[in-house]
């Protein structure tokens, strides 16, 4: 599975730790930045991750910022992106099962690093249920 990952300054440390964790567990990642904790603009990293997922170059995306709101809003501007903010493993599983989310957005200032890792794994390992949910997902794009 190929993953795209990106973060702003508030999510930088979590991104680095999650990246190592996933690579150590056999996942292929492309890091779209940022590459330091210096202040940056989150759209500069959310758009490339969303573009990589939208083009199907990457299977799923992971975005991290302070609240996860900015990266989610930015990624969801892309027509075929379904970016979801998750702060529990249950939400991560449900957004994949029911909404076929293709980018997970992590609020680094509000959850622990360990929980963030568990959320990402739950998201990656959960499958879309399809069925009645597919009909609903088909109605999301404008």
| pLDDT value for 99 | 95
65 belongs to the catalytic site:
yes
pTM of the model: 0.96
Name the DSSP letter for residue 61: E
pLDDT digits (tens, 9 = 90+) for 60-117: 999 999 999 999 999 999 999 999 999 999 999 999 999 999 999 999 999 999 999 9
In Å, the largest CA–CA distance within the chain is 45
Q: Which of 9, 65, 78, 105 is catalytic?
A: 65
Which residues does residue 31 pair with via DSSP β-bridges, in sequence order? 5
At residue 141 the predicted structure's pLDDT band, cuts being 50, 70 and 90, is confident
C-alpha distance from residue 51 to each of 56, 62, 81 (Å): 8, 12, 9
Q: Of 9, 47, 86, 98, which is the active-site residue?
A: 98
Going from the N-terminus, what domains does the chain have, and what CATH number goes with each?
Answer: 2-137 (3.40.1400.10)
Measure the CA–CA gap between 142 and 139, rounded to whole angstroms. Answer: 8
What pLDDT is recorded for position 57? 82
Element housing 106 (H / E): strand 103-107
Residue 98 appears among annotated catalytic residues: yes
């Amino acid at each position: 599975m190929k993953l795209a990952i990106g973060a702003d300054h508030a999510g930088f440390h979590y991104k680095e730790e999650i990246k190592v964790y996933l690579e150590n567990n056999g996942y292929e990642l492309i890091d779209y930045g940022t590459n330091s904790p210096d202040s940056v603009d989150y759209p500069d990293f959310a758009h490339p991750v969303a573009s990589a997922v939208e083009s199907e170059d990457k299977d799923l995306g992971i975005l991290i910022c302070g609240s996860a709101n900015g990266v989610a809003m930015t990624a969801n501007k892309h027509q075929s992106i379904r970016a979801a903010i998750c702060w529990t493993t249950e939400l991560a599983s449900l957004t994949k099962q029911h909404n076929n989310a293709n980018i997970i957005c992590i609020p680094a200032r509000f959850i622990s690093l360990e929980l963030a890792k568990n959320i990402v794994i739950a998201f990656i390992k959960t499958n879309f249920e399809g069925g009645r949910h597919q009909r609903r997902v088909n109605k999301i794009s404008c």
